[in-house]
Structure 1
Amino acid sequence: MTNDHSSPDRTRPDLDDATVEALGKLSEALETVDQARGFLYAFHQLTGKADRLLQESVDLFEKAGATDLAADLDRDLVGRNVIADRWTFQIVEDFDAGYWGAFRDYDARARDELAGGDRHVFEARMKQRERTQGHPRHEAGPSLADQP
């Protein structure tokens, strides 16, 4: 199915409910993966910060005379892989190139094949159901034709 975006109706009445629901569920799943990706990036940044703080503590232990502890920390923890053979930037890169990339590709494929590329059709239908017609701040727009 393709859509020429000439209809102002974002609810895509030409699509059956099962298709719209399936597209909505896939979109929700991708949004959840996007949220998980954000946590992964936070893990990456926090782990890097922890390593810099660890390096500062090593310097302070050396200044305090705890040279054996400083040497052990420096040898065993500073720059250590967080999982086998990987720093966090490598985990992020693997996630982006693999799982996240594939998820995004399938979401785009489903939208392209079934809804002419239109996004958030499920939500557009929900908005139409839940808004108060004729009430200020409850307008239906913008239309598909107004979308970039």
Structure 2
Amino acid sequence: MRSVDEAHSRPEGTSDATVEAVGKLSEAFEVIEEARGSLYAFHRNLGRADLTLGEAVNKLREAGHDEIADEIEADLLGRNVLAGRWTFQVVEEFDDGYYTAFREHDRRVRDALMGGRRHVFEAEMKQERRTYDRPGHEATPDDV
């Protein structure tokens, strides 16, 4: 079933197998986007943990535990999370390498096989699953 929305309609002559394959590639890229979000959350959480650790070190000193504070500060505060890397470096390497390559392949395949149209598979699924002429099941925002 074809989408009623031209921006999400399959190009003329495109097979079901091609729509499904490109849809699966887009689904995989969506998982990469989700993983990227988790990586950024990891980056932010580790940064927040290091700043909080700095506060803990200060409080240990204020409480008279200078030796313990010195040990933690020297060993853990500002420590690399991976060999030679803070999390910002991990994020940058991921973004510049794997993520960029995946995104470019997704776009290239979509441009070559779908005329640049996104979510054709999902748009067709929507047409198959929605109840026509029922509120909340409109094909596009213009139909509301």
TM-score under structure 2 normalisation? 0.89
Q: Output the CA distance in 1 between the equivalents of 2:24 and 2:48.
A: 36
- State the match for 1:86 in structure 2: 85
Note if contact 1:20-1:122 (Cα within 8 Å) is conserved in structure 2: yes
TM-score under structure 1 normalisation? 0.86
Q: Which amino acid aligns with 1:12?
A: R
Output aligned runs, 1:72-83, within 5 Å: 72-83=71-82
Note if contact 2:80-2:86 (Cα within 8 Å) is conserved in structure 1: yes
Cα displacement (A) at 1:131:
1.2
Give secondary structure in 2 for the equivalent of 1:42.
Answer: helix
Q: Output the CA distance in 2 between the equivalents of 1:18 and 1:8.
A: 20
Structure 2, unaligned runs of 5 or more: none
2:95 is the counterpart of 1:96:
yes
Output aligned runs, 1:42-121, within 5 Å: 42-121=41-120
Give secondary structure in 1 for the equivalent of 2:84.
Answer: coil
Q: Output the CA distance in 2 between the equivalents of 1:65 and 1:9.
A: 67
Q: Percent identity?
A: 55
Give secondary structure in 1 for the equivalent of 2:8.
Answer: coil
- State the match for 2:123 in structure 1: 124
Q: Output the CA distance in 2 between the equivalents of 1:131 and 1:18.
A: 22
Cα displacement (A) at 1:134:
2.6
Q: Output the CA distance in 2 between the equivalents of 1:137 and 1:51.
A: 47
2:9 is the counterpart of 1:11:
yes
Per-residue CA deviation, residues 63-122 of structure 1 (Å, 9 max, x unaligned), is: 111111110101000110001000000000001111111110000000001011000000
Q: Which amino acid aligns with 1:73?
A: I
- State the match for 1:146 in structure 2: none
- State the match for 1:3 in structure 2: none
Runs of 4+ off more than 4 Å: none
Give secondary structure in 2 for the equivalent of 1:83.
Answer: coil
2:97 is the counterpart of 1:133:
no
Give secondary structure in 2 for the equivalent of 1:126.
Answer: helix
Cα distance change, pair 9–90 in 1 and its aligned pair in 2 (3 A): closer
Note if contact 2:8-2:118 (Cα within 8 Å) is conserved in structure 1: no
Cα displacement (A) at 1:10:
3.0
Structure 1, unaligned runs of 5 or more: 1-6, 144-148
Cα distance change, pair 9–140 in 1 and its aligned pair in 2 (3 A): farther
Q: Output the CA distance in 1 between the equivalents of 2:112 and 2:11.
A: 16
